[in-house]
Amino acid sequence: MEKNKIKIAVPASVSNVGPGFDIMGFAIDVISDVITLTRNNHEEIVIKKITGDNGKLTYDPNKNTCTVGMIHLLKYLKLNIGFDVIIEKKIGIGSGLGSSAASAVGGVFALNELLDKPFKKKELLNFAMEGEKIASKATHADNVAPCLFGGFILIRDYNPIDIVNLPFPKNLYCTIIHPQIEIETAASRKLLGKKVDFKKAITQWGNVGGLIAGLTTNNYNLIGRSIKDVIVEPIRGKFIPFYEDIKKVAYKSGVLGCNISGSGPAIFTLSDNKKIAIIAARKMQEVCTQNKIVSKIYISKIDKQGPKVL
C-alpha cells in the first residue's frame, strides 16, 4: 500500500424518481459529503470526527453507515489493518437526498482507493449496500448505485443485482427543495404496507417504462408525463408539509415533472432548461417561506462521475 491518506467527495442522489420505487435514482453534483481516511497503527477502524450531523450519528464503527461496509471489505480481504475516519456531512440526514448512501459509498470507495483498488467499482456495490442497510433497515440500491457510479441508474433486479446505466438528455436540470424537517427512511418504509393494488401496479410500470423511453430518446415531454407515482407518493406526500402546494407552483413554473426525492422531505423537479429550474426553485421556496418552513434549494445537473478524490 503506497498511500496512507485519502480525502474524497461523495455526491447526493435522488431516488425513486417518481414511479421507480427502489429501482431508479440519479446523482447530483451540487451537494457532497467529504470523507477522509488515514491509515492508523491499530488493527481497527476508528471514527475520529463527524461534523455536520448535529451529534446524531454514532461513533461506533460497527453501527455507522460509513464504516460498516469498510469492515466487511477488510474482512473479505482478510486484512488486519486499521484506519482513522473523518466524516463531514453536508447532505442532510433524513433529507431524502441519499445521505446514508453517500456515507456508505464514501467509506468503501475511499478504502478501495487506499488499498490500490483490489475491487472494481461494480464489486464495491455490495459492501456499500451493507452500510446502507444499517440506516434504512432494508436492502435497496437506488441511492447507493447512482452515488457510486454517477449518472441515472436503473436497478433491473436485486437477485442477483443488475445495474443499468441509463442515458439521459443533455439539458436535464434538477431543482430540489429541502424543507428542514427530518423523515427517517426506515420509519417511512414501514408506512407503505406489503401489497399493491393491481390496477395501480399497471399504471406504475407504464410510467417506469415511459420514463426510461423518454430518457433514452431525449423525449422531455414523455419524461415529464412519466414522473408519476400512484403507489408511494399518496402515502408519503401527506408527511411533507405543503407538498401539494409546492408541487403545484413547480408545475406552474414549467417543470417537466415533480415528485418526492427518496423518502422525502426533499422534493425534486426535472426541467429542460436552467431558467425554468431557477424559477421553480424560487416559487417552491416561496411556499415554504410563506408557511414559515425553513428550506434549502439546490439546482443541479445530473452528476456523471460519482465519488471524486480531492
When asked if residue 204 is in the footprint of ligand HSE (CB under 6 A), the reply is: no
Distances (CA, A) of 125 to 132, 194, 307: 10, 26, 13
When asked if residue 103 is in the footprint of ligand HSE (CB under 6 A), the reply is: no
CA distance 248 to 63: 40
Q: Which of 24, 11, 304 is nearest to 163 (CA)?
A: 24
* Half-sphere exposure (Cβ direction) of 117: Cα atoms closer than 13 Å: 3
When asked if residue 33 is in the footprint of ligand HSE (CB under 6 A), the reply is: no
Distances (CA, A) of 113 to 145, 182, 256: 18, 33, 38
Please, what is the minimum distance in Å from the beta carbon of residue 60 to ligand HSE? 22
Whichever of 12 and 111 has its CB closer to ligand HSE, that residue is 12
199: cell is 390496477
When binding is defined by CB under 6 A, the residue of 8, 12, 14, 16 that contacts ligand HSE is 16
Binding segment toward ligand HSE, per CB under 6 A, in 16-24, 41-49, 113-121, 248-256? 16-24
Q: Which of 132, 175, 233, 269 is catalytic?
A: 132
When asked if residue 21 is in the footprint of ligand HSE (CB under 6 A), the reply is: yes
When binding is defined by CB under 6 A, the residue of 67, 143, 259, 269 that contacts ligand HSE is 143
When binding is defined by CB under 6 A, the residue of 67, 103, 112, 185 that contacts ligand HSE is 185
What value does the CA radius of gyration of the chain take, rounded to a whole number of Å? 19
- On whether the CB atoms of residues 174 and 264 are closer than 8 A, the answer is no
CA distance 197 to 189: 17
Only one residue has cell 407503505, namely 192
Whichever of 32 and 136 has its CB closer to ligand HSE, that residue is 136
When asked if residue 132 is in the footprint of ligand HSE (CB under 6 A), the reply is: no
Whether residue 123 lies in the annotated active site:
no
- Angle 9-12-14 from CA coordinates, rounded to 5°: 160
Whether residue 185 lies in the annotated active site:
yes
Footprint of ligand HSE on 82-101 (CB under 6 A): 96
Q: Could you list the active site residues? A: 132, 185
* Chain residues that interact with ligand HSE, rule: CB under 6 A: 15-16, 21-22, 96, 136, 140, 142-143, 185, 189, 262-263
